Homo-oligomer: A and B are copies of this chain.
């Protein structure tokens, strides 16, 4: 056997996702990519803001000596200071560079946190439906994932979370605005969560994964997690708000008064190094320092959301309109969500079954695509629903 047993199992487990992508590729080859309505990928299609190009040019022109050398594993102090200032403003706290570690995206950041916290068998609570990568990030470092469902409207089910806490619970990961639901947890929900976690016999760290914080609709905002709970960490990136996912630039921000702060920051800095990230990419660190508070034009995503809600509503689908992020998570008209996604594919529409997010009976549609693709999909959504009703 060339590879490890675990990776072999992972490869098999993810084979239906690969099949789905292969089916999508086949449809695109057969009909032409412009004939397919591809809502399967959460890959931001807006260009980075114009300030991005300016920032890169300015940094390259400056040719600062050592600008591409190794720096401290937690990142450049001046970059961490800029990030701390912005997050402090958003969270309503005074923060400094010592509260920030620059990371290789939020994915790198969550792995760093898991590596730092978890002893073998420690439990991490995640909320369904969930970003499937969390289960890998916990497993990578010897942890055990405990899945707790959210409520019917995808808000927090506080009683269920409280019931899931055991003496082995070390952390809980939340994601708001949420992928795949677009839900934002309210200040009251977060306060309730903070109360529950505070009551636990041991320290439980709350990890808030917030890459969609700036992508919100209808005047919704994302409440402060640091205001709700002291033992919390924000792990985020510039992948969505600056449309730079391929550049792998993110950060970990800790509550300035988090328990075991010095030890935790030391461990995370060491984990950033020994997991092979070493440091967040140097040039992109300098770039994001220049772009604090800048975001892509979210009105574009807002317009598409309106359009998509209209298309799905008129076609007769049941869904909770997203408050943020760029996903719809409608109910599948038949129990078998994978089968329904197949019916959509027959209409040249690509989505992802809810089971890919730990919640069968739903499906996810990403609207980081041109408006025209959404409009063009309207007839297909109606036909797929009609086909589903014949099966039911």
Contact = CB atoms under 8 A, between A and B. Distances in A.
Interface of A: 1-8, 10-11, 14, 41, 43-45, 47-48, 53, 56-57, 60, 63, 65-71, 104-105, 107-112, 115-119, 122, 133, 136-137, 140, 203, 243-248, 259-261, 263-264, 266-267, 270-271, 273-284
Contacts of A109: 276
Contacts of A271: 7
A41 B72 CA distance: 12
A276 to B, nearest CB: 4
20 contacts: A2-B259, A3-B260, A4-B115, A4-B118, A11-B263, A41-B70, A47-B65, A53-B63, A56-B283, A68-B246, A104-B277, A109-B276, A110-B276, A111-B275, A137-B276, A246-B283, A247-B281, A248-B281, A275-B275, A283-B283
B11 A69 contact: no
A245 B115 CA distance: 23
A68 to B, nearest CB: 5
Given A248-B278, A277-B104, A283-B247, A3 B47 contact: no
Contact of A69 (B44, B119, B259): B44
Contacts of A3: 116-117, 260, 263-264, 267
Nearest to A71: B246
Given A53-B60, A243-B69, A116 B4 contact: yes
Number of this chain's copies in the assembly equals 2
A274 to B, nearest CB: 4
Contacts of A259: 2
B276 A105 contact: yes
A247 B282 contact: yes
Contact of A56 (B60, B243, B260): B60
A276 B107 contact: yes
Contacts of A118: 4
A256 to B, nearest CB: 15
Contacts of A41: 70
A316 B244 CA distance: 54
Closest 6 CB pairs of A and B: A2-B260, A246-B282, A111-B276, A107-B276, A136-B274, A3-B267
A373 to B, nearest CB: 15
A118 B105 CA distance: 25
Contact of A70 (B43, B112, B274): B43
Given A43-B70, A246-B279, A274-B133, A267 B11 contact: yes
Given A111-B275, A137-B276, A246-B283, 10 more contacts: A10-B267, A45-B66, A68-B246, A69-B246, A105-B276, A133-B273, A246-B282, A247-B283, A276-B277, A283-B284
A270 B10 contact: yes
Contacts of A112: 276
A107, A246, A270 — which one has the most chain B CB atoms within 10 A of its CB?
Answer: A246
A10 B66 CA distance: 29
Contacts of A67: 246
Contacts of A261: 2
A41 B63 CA distance: 22
Nearest to A118: B4
B270 A104 contact: no
A43 B68 CA distance: 10
Contacts of A263: 2-3, 8, 11
Contacts of A264: 2-3
Contact of A2 (B203, B245, B246): B203
